[in-house]
Amino acid sequence: MNDSWNRRRFLNRVAAGCVGIAGATATGMLLRDEGRDEPLSEPKTVQVRNFRAHMGDSGEKLVIANGDPSSATRAAIGALGGMERFVQPGESVVIKPNIGWDRTPVQAANTNPLVISALVKLCLDAGAATVIVTDHSCNESRRCFTRSGIWKEASNAGAVVVLPAGHRFRTHDLGGVVLGRMPVLTAAVRADRFINVPVAKHHGMSGFTGAMKNLYGVLGGRRNRLHQRLDDSIADLADFIRPTLTVMDATRVLMRNGPQGGNLGDVKSVNQVIASTDQVAVDAYGCGLIGLKPTDLPYLAFAHERGLGTADLSRIPREEVS
Amino acid sequence: MGKGNTTEKASGTWSRLRWARRVTQSVFLLLFLFLILATTALTGAGIDAATSGSVPYPVEAFLDIDPLIGLIVALSTGTVPGALIFGLVVLGSAAFLGRGFCGWICPMGTMNHAVGQIRQPRQGKARIDRNSPRPYNKIKYVILAGVLVAALFGSAIGGLFDPISLATRGVSLTLLPWLNWIIGGAINLFAESNVPALQHISDVTYDAVDGVVVYQRGFLVGSGALISVLFIVVLAANRWIPRFWCRSLCPLGALLGVSGRFGALALHKDHDLCNQCGKCQLDCSGAAAPRPGDRWLRAECDLCMNCVTVCDQGALSFRLAGEKSDEQSLPDLKRRTVIAGAVIGAVAIPAMRTGALGSVEGRPDPARIRPPGAVDEKAFIERCIRCGQCMKICPNNALHPALDEAGIEGLWTPVLVPATGYCEPTCTLCSQVCPTGAIRRVTEDQKIGKNGARMVSIGTAFFDRGRCLPWAMGTPCTVCEEFCPTSPKAIWMKEEEVEVLGRRVKLKVPYLDPSQCNGCGACEYVCPVHDKAAIRVTCAGESRSMTNQLLLGKPARKKEQS
């Protein structure tokens, strides 16, 4: 009896079959690839991250602080009017050191960890809700973060140290002359304030690496192609991210064999920390520390022309403190 | 049933012992898995630079206590390196407890046991049949003989068959890529969701498992799939015959079985109480013939305590000094069987060394780049047991199991593949975990030749000027020079005129100073010519070799371009 067909059962089957076929067709239509090219470019929205602080009546200035890493950092920020001027209570702050290499602090290939911890404390004292310390290392990042001493010092000072994991990058349109769509470390660009904390050192290709070149660390993907137009790339980056503040560690300076170093004979104790809201001026000063002139570095001229800051040190007031 | 209080009490003792065995097995398996996960560098917020280069736990402990590995290396080198002397503890335990190590401790045994025993596919007679002695269970003695003779002939190739080595390799290359895939995939999925709560979960998860089961530099392993497949075959075989590997193939089991000849514990069989129900063979994990009437196979019994626990007649018990008449204390081996194994080992090693490229006696394969600290190839093959610890701990995914780079004999020995990862300039982790001294301890100073230490070089980089951007295309590039870790750099730039498309272009082009190159491969890894880099490392000039050399002495650096 169960096996026998009747009209009702037949119609039910037919109806179910029709629904199935209709569903499959609808799914197929939804997923259909008509073989057309992807749209060549999405609506071009250049996502410039302008964190730059305005110095108001006191104007831009370049502060050069002498002393050990911690006290020089505090003196430099003090001379710019204190961290309260840049960080409002409740804000999130990203501190972007150079944690590029598997090197220890004495080798001066990474930012000195004590400069970082001093800045973390200053930001927290100014009322920052969170302070994130992050970078996209060149060598294996866990080793770089650990051996640079930054993971430990920054964490102890109260910062959140963020590793450059793959899932933390998103594609942004940098809208530059050579840099278009690139993966960007989201933790670095989603904060309210961005403090760039490079280390001053020699670089085989660009001559000198400091503030603007340090912004490479927010990029992911295949950064090794950028060297083909390095100066344009650096200027593009400085155009894309305009830091609230730039604090350059020049306590120990790698004079040769940069950017990685390794030989203590190549390191010179300079015992300076340079701070300004003008990242171009910081580099213009910094390259002098390894015996170069601002005119030796094409990327300074490019950045100057784009109005990102001044490469002419005579045009920015300088203040030395200790 | 109804055999009185003494029987019930006794069976309670056996049952407790069986539970003790299960707990011990679980504890050692978990410890083993923990040590595999802990085979990673010490990094994090609480770690400073000085201690970051060390390995926090004795991650190679299971390999250290493996007497087969100790015996292989002792035969091949005449020395007992490092902590392998602890193998005597396990070997000594065999003198009293026979293959108790197999039943209670060996992680490979436990994994086999679990796969074979949990939800068994057969019941009753069919299951008894599966747990009965089989003639091919003697293969393991042939393998043992072959492995030991091969060791005598200067090859640690027996590590391919060693169960601890197999488990270390197999778990590392089966479980870890799977976890990396699943957890890493979930992290990416959550991160892309644009839901802050999910993104937060993925961040927290990532920080908890980064470097342990999720790898920033991926989990790509040359010939890794082959290792994984064979490991899964070994596990799956347990569904056909429980503990098939342990019973039929395992050379360590064979060694412990033979060593247990005069074991203190023996299975006592009371023929009067036995009703021949056969229950004792339902779960006999070693196929050791516990049933009264059969001769107990001492060399097969791993003291799992199943037979004595399930016997409700009280006919079986483990006692000191068993009745010799009821057991067979040594495997029933025909002399010719053992000789056959020995001959296979003796013939195989010279035969494998006829390979012209990569074999110990042939020319080195250019891709046979050994980790820093590796001893000379002949000594290396005497020691490397292919456990894969060096590959597991490498933070850059640089070390891979060789397929043919080191000849047939060098199957699954470690080689550095710069295209997937380079040797981190200051890292010495692989040299710290090698249990057999195939990779000697090196220092950070030796790796980059500073503070007067003689540089350990694993090869030399060579430019392919036809692919190099500055040389061939007049396009500026300096990435290889930037990443070169030695000081002064082995790669240096010089401004020259290059002809491109009929024009002369002035730009900096890279040169290599072979006397400074340590072969780390960073240049090859970062070269923007992505498929086949314009600078590639071969093992030429590796400092461990007397013959694979390029330079006579150190030429003075021609010039230092700044």
B402 touches A at CB < 8 Å: no
Q: Tell me the per-residue pLDDT of B167-218, one tens digit each, with 9 for 90 and over.
A: 999 998 888 889 999 999 999 999 988 788 999 999 999 999 988 888 877 7
- Nearest by CB to residue B424, choosing from A143, A149, A156, is A143
Looking at chain B, which residue has its C-alpha nearest residue A101?
B483
Q: Are strands B296-297 and B327-328 parallel, antiparallel or unpaired?
A: parallel
| Residue B214 placed within a domain | no
Tokens of A115: 């400069």
From CA B112, how far away is CA A163, in angstroms rounded? 39
| pLDDT value of position A3 | 65
| Cβ separation A227–B188 shorter than 8 A | no
Alpha-carbon distances of A216 from A226, B192, B558, rounded to whole Å:
9, 23, 33
Is pLDDT at A54 greater than 80 in this prediction? no
Q: Tell me the per-residue pLDDT of A145-176, one tens digit each, with 9 for 90 and over.
A: 999 999 999 999 999 999 999 899 988 888 88
| Distance between A271 CA and the closest CA of chain B, angstroms | 22
| pLDDT value of position B6 | 56
Element (H, E) at B128: helix B124-130
Which among B328, B357, B389 is the end of a domain? B328
Is pLDDT at A101 greater than 80 in this prediction? yes
From CA A161, how far away is CA A113, in angstroms rounded? 12
- For residues B324 and B464, membership in a common domain is answered with no
Comparison of pLDDT for A59 and B176, the residue scoring more: B176
B478 touches A at CB < 8 Å: yes
User: What is the pLDDT confidence band of residue A56, given thresholds at 50, 70 and 90?
Assistant: low
From CA B494, how far away is CA B489, in angstroms rounded? 13
| pLDDT value of position B553 | 67
Is pLDDT at A106 greater than 70 in this prediction? yes
| pLDDT value of position B1 | 39
Q: Tell me the per-residue pLDDT of B115-137, one tens digit each, with 9 for 90 and over.
A: 998 888 899 899 999 999 999 99
Do B546 and B440 touch, CB atoms closer than 8 A? no
Q: Are strands A92-97 and A130-134 parallel, antiparallel or unpaired?
A: parallel
Q: Tell me the per-residue pLDDT of A201-214, one tens digit each, with 9 for 90 and over.
A: 999 888 999 999 99
Phi first, then psi, for residue A160 (nearest 5°) are -95, 115
**What is the mean predicted confidence (pLDDT) over A93-103?**
95
| pLDDT value of position A47 | 62
Q: Which residues from chain B sit within 8 angstroms of residue A261, using beta carbons?
A: 487
**What is the mean predicted confidence (pLDDT) over B330-339?**
82
Is pLDDT at B443 greater than 50 in this prediction? yes
- CATH code for position B526: 3.30.70.20
| Residue B467 placed within a domain | yes
- Nearest by CB to residue A142, choosing from B190, B211, B475, is B211
Least confident of A26-35, A312-321, B79-88, B274-283: A26-35
Q: Tell me the per-residue pLDDT of B243-272, one tens digit each, with 9 for 90 and over.
A: 999 999 999 999 999 998 877 888 888 889
Sign of the C-alpha dihedral, residues B401, B403, B405, B407?
positive
Find which of A133, A138, A167 to mutate to test the B interface (most B CBs within 10 Å of its CB): A167
Interface contacts (A, B; CB < 8 Å): 131
| pLDDT value of position B8 | 61
| pLDDT value of position B195 | 87
A147 touches B at CB < 8 Å: yes
| Cβ separation B485–A260 shorter than 8 A | yes
Is pLDDT at B497 greater than 60 in this prediction? yes
User: What is the pLDDT confidence band of residue B332, given thresholds at 50, 70 and 90?
Assistant: confident
Which among B299, B328, B357 is the end of a domain? B328
Alpha-carbon distances of A13 from A19, B137, B225, rounded to whole Å:
10, 58, 47
- Nearest by CB to residue A151, choosing from B44, B210, B487, is B44
| Residue B14 placed within a domain | yes
Is pLDDT at B3 greater than 80 in this prediction? no
| Residue B478 placed within a domain | yes
| Residue B196 placed within a domain | no
**What is the mean predicted confidence (pLDDT) over A28-42?**
69
Element (H, E) at B416: strand B414-416
| Alpha carbons within 13 A on the beta-carbon side of B133 | 17
Query: Domain range spanning residue B241?
Result: 2-171+229-328
Which among B328, B360, B375 is the end of a domain? B328
Mean pLDDT, chain A, whole residue set? 90
Q: Tell me the per-residue pLDDT of B70-127, one tens digit each, with 9 for 90 and over.
A: 999 999 999 998 889 999 999 999 988 889 999 999 999 999 999 998 888 899 899 9
User: What is the pLDDT confidence band of residue A46, given thresholds at 50, 70 and 90?
Assistant: low
B197 touches A at CB < 8 Å: no
B10 touches A at CB < 8 Å: no
A218 touches B at CB < 8 Å: no
Give the torsion through C-alpha atoms of A31, A32, A35, A39, to 10 deg. -50
| Residue B264 placed within a domain | yes
A190 touches B at CB < 8 Å: no
- Among the listed residues B357, B369, B356, B421, the one whose alpha carbon sits nearest the alpha carbon of residue B393: B421
Is pLDDT at A2 greater than 80 in this prediction? no
Q: Tell me the per-residue pLDDT of B519-543, one tens digit each, with 9 for 90 and over.
A: 999 999 999 999 999 999 999 999 9
Find which of B393, B444, B489, B524 to mutate to test the A interface (most A CBs within 10 Å of its CB): B489
Do A240 and A192 touch, CB atoms closer than 8 A? no
**What is the mean predicted confidence (pLDDT) over B409-415?**
95
| Residue B498 placed within a domain | yes
Percent of chain A with pLDDT strictly greater than 90: 71
| pLDDT value of position B562 | 37
Q: Which residues from chain A sit within 8 angstroms of residue B396, using beta carbons?
A: 140
| pLDDT value of position B560 | 44
Based on the structure, what is the number of domains in chain B? Answer: 2
**What is the mean predicted confidence (pLDDT) over A90-116?**
95
Looking at chain B, which residue has its C-alpha nearest residue A171?
B192
Percent of chain B with pLDDT strictly greater than 70: 96
From CA B99, how far away is CA B72, in angstroms rounded? 19
From CA A318, how far away is CA B347, in angstroms rounded? 81
Find which of A114, A117, A139 to mutate to test the B interface (most B CBs within 10 Å of its CB): A139
| pLDDT value of position A4 | 75
* B170-200 burial code (b ≥16 CB/10 A, e <16): bbbbbbbbebbeebbebbeebbeeeeeebbe
| Cβ separation A146–B206 shorter than 8 A | no
DSSP 8-state class, residue B555: P
In one-letter notation, the amino acid at residue A274 is I
**What is the residue-wise DSSP string for B249-302?**
I-HHHHHHHHHGGG-SEEEEE-TTT-----GGGTS-TT----SBTBPEEGGG--
Is pLDDT at B376 greater than 70 in this prediction? yes
| Residue B9 placed within a domain | yes
**What is the mean predicted confidence (pLDDT) over B474-491?**
92
- Nearest by CB to residue A146, choosing from B49, B424, B469, is B49
Do B159 and B385 touch, CB atoms closer than 8 A? yes
Do A292 and A202 touch, CB atoms closer than 8 A? no
| pLDDT value of position B556 | 46
Q: Which ipTM score applies to this complex?
A: 0.87
